A and B are shown apart, each in its own frame.
Chain A
C-alpha cells in the first residue's frame, strides 16, 4: 500500500475506529428493533439482545401487522404525505432561495431573516393555533393538513441551505442564459438546479426523515383511521395495559424500509457530484 503524508497507518486506523464506533452506536437501536421483531414474545423479554435462533424465531409480529389493522393504507398515507411535502419544500424552497440570492430588491434582507426565524422557533409551539386553524377551514383528519404543516416546517432550513449554495453558482452562466433569451424560470430549472443537485439531495434527506418519523402532527391533526401514518399506526399496538411488542417492533421494522429506499435514491444524487465543466 502506498503511504502518502496524508494516509499514515495509525491515522487511518484511528479514523476507522472512530467511524466504526459511531456506526455501531447509531445502528444499535435499529438492530435491536429488527432482531426482536423476528422473535417470539417470550424471547423478546427473556433475552432482548440475543439473535433470533431456531427456538425463538417467530414472525408472529409481521403476521399480526399485515393481517390486523390497515398497514398498507398507513404506508400509503405516510408515503403521500412525505413525498408531497418533500416536493413542495424542494421546489418552493429552491425558488425562494434563488430569489433571495439572485435578486436585489428592497426587503431582501428582511425577508431572509423572516424565513430564518422558522429555523429557530419549533413549529410545535404553534400546535394549538395550527389545530384551531385547520379545524376552522375543515382540514382536520386530512392528509392535506399534514402536507401543509410539514411544508412549513421544512421550508426555512431548505431556503437557508439552498440560498447559500445558489450564491456559488456562477453569475456568468446565468447572465449567458439571459443574453441568450432564456426566461428566469428556464435559467432556474435548466442551469441552476442541476448545479446544486447535491445540495438539494442533502436538503431532501434532512427534510424527509423527520416527516416520515413524526408522530405528533398525525396524532393531533389526522388521527382518523383513513389518514393514519405508519408511526401512528404502530401506536395502535401499544395499549395502556397490554402492548403487543411483536407487532410494534414489526411495524417499526417495516417503516424503516421506505425511508431507506428514498435515502438511497437521494444519496446516489449526492455522490454523483456537481456537473463540472460549466465554468473553470
Chain B
C-alpha cells in the first residue's frame, strides 16, 4: 500500500522560491521518476516528501493521510541516497536492521526481515562486513536492502546510481526494476539522467524551475511533449529545433527528433554541411551545420559513411513534426 498526493506544494529558502506549487498524484505500486536538469528542485521535492525539508505551504499525503507535519521516521518511507549513507560503525546486518529495531520490532522479526532482504539482493555473504569493506556497487545494494527491510509505503531514491560506473549503473538499474516488479511497491525516483527515467518509470514527472513541466508515461512524453522543455529534455540525442518561419511552417519553433530527419547527398528541404560524425556501431549520429537553424543532429541506424564538410540536404518527416508557439508551448 502506498499512494502519494501532493497538493499545491511550495518551498522557499528566504525569498527564493524553489518549488512553485506542485500538484501530483502517484498511484499505489507506481514507479514514478522525477527528472529535470540540476537546480530544477527535484531533490528538494523528494526531501519534502521524506520530511527532511520543511514545507512552506501545501500538503503531502501518504495513503490519503496528511503527513506534512510528521517527522521522517513516522511517515513509513525508506530512502536510498546518492552517497549510500551507510552507518560506518555498524555491520551490514545492523545497518539494515536499525530502522526496524528503532521502531520497536523484536529481534527475531528484525533478523527475519534482514535475511529476506539480503536474499532478494544476494547480500548474504556481506552481512557481517562493515561498509568500509565493501565496493561502491555493494554499498549501494546494501543501501537498497536497508530500504527494503522496512517494508515502507513509499520508496524514495535520490539519484542512487550517480556514483556508480557505467556498467554497474546498468546492472543496478535492472535490479531496481526487478525489485519494483517483485515488491509491487510505490517508488519515487529522482534522477537527472533521462535514460534512467525512460527505462525505469511507469510515469515520468519532468520538472523545470520548480514547476511540473509535464507528467506522463515515458512514451507519452516522447511522442507527445507538451512544450519545448520536455521535447528537448526527453530523448537522446536531443530533439532538433528549427525556426518555423524559415521553412514556411506555422508556429515559432518546429521540433523534429534526430531519427526523423532524412539525410540525402542530392536533394532535400534544408541544405547544410556536415560538421561532425559519431560512430557508435549500432547507430551513427551526424551533426550538420545549417543556416539559419544552427547545428542539427541526424540519427541513422547501422553504419553510414559521410565526409566531414560535405554538403548534404535534410528533410523532416512531416508526420513527426512538433509545432511550438513563441512561449514554447505545443500547438495542437
Task: Give the B-binding residues of A (Cβ under 8 A).
Answer: 170, 172-173, 175-182, 190-191, 194-195, 275-280
Contact = CB atoms under 8 A, between A and B. Distances in A.
Contacts of B103: 181
B86 A280 contact: no
Contacts of B86: 176, 277-278
B163 A280 contact: yes
10 A-B pairs closest in CB distance: A277-B132, A181-B73, A278-B88, A172-B85, A172-B81, A181-B102, A180-B99, A176-B85, A279-B83, A277-B131
B79 interface: yes
Given A172-B81, A190-B89, A278-B86, A179 B134 contact: no
A176 B73 CA distance: 10
Contacts of A195: 88
A178 B85 contact: no
Contacts of B62: none
Contact of B85 (A173, A275, A276): A173
B84 A279 contact: yes
Contacts, number: 81
Given A175-B79, A179-B99, A182-B102, A280 B88 contact: no
Contact of B79 (A176, A181, A275): A176
Given A179-B77, A194-B88, A276 B132 contact: yes
A172 B88 contact: no
A277 B88 contact: yes
Contacts of B73: 178-182
B84 A275 contact: no
Given A179-B50, A180-B102, A275 B132 contact: yes
B123 interface: no
8 contacts: A175-B50, A175-B72, A179-B73, A181-B73, A275-B132, A278-B88, A279-B83, A280-B136
A176 B86 CA distance: 8
B102 A280 contact: no
B87 interface: yes
A99 B308 CA distance: 60
Nearest to A176: B85
Contact of B78 (A172, A179, A277): A179
A176 B88 CA distance: 12
A179 B131 contact: no
A154 B75 CA distance: 41
Nearest to A186: B102
A201 B72 CA distance: 33
B98 interface: yes
B45 to A, nearest CB: 15
Contact of A175 (B85, B130, B131, B132): B85
A191 B86 CA distance: 10
A175 to B, nearest CB: 5
A173 B131 CA distance: 13
A173 B52 contact: no
A170 B83 contact: yes
Contacts of A191: 87
A20 B146 CA distance: 52
A177 B50 CA distance: 12
- Residue among A180, A191, A275, A279 with the most chain B CB within 10 A? A180
A245 to B, nearest CB: 52
Contacts of B83: 170, 172-173, 279-280
Contacts of B99: 179-181
A185 B76 CA distance: 21
Given A172-B81, A194-B88, 19 more contacts: A172-B85, A172-B158, A175-B52, A176-B79, A178-B72, A179-B79, A180-B98, A180-B99, A181-B73, A181-B102, A195-B88, A276-B132, A277-B130, A277-B131, A277-B133, A277-B134, A278-B85, A279-B84, A280-B84
B172 interface: no
B70 to A, nearest CB: 12
B87 A278 contact: yes
A278 B134 CA distance: 10
Interface string B43-73: 0000100111000000000000000000111
B132 A179 contact: no
Nearest to A178: B72
Contacts of B82: 172
A275 B136 contact: no
Contacts of A190: 87, 89
Nearest to A180: B99
Nearest to A174: B85
Interface in B68-116: 71-73, 77-79, 81-89, 98-99, 102-103
Contacts of B78: 179
A182 B73 CA distance: 8
A280 B163 CA distance: 8
Contacts of B52: 175, 178-179
Contacts of A280: 83-84, 136, 163
A275 B81 CA distance: 19
B72 A194 contact: no
Nearest to B73: A181
A278 B86 CA distance: 5
Nearest to A279: B83
A99 to B, nearest CB: 17
Nearest to A278: B88
- Residue among B103, B130, B131 with the most chain A CB within 10 A? B131
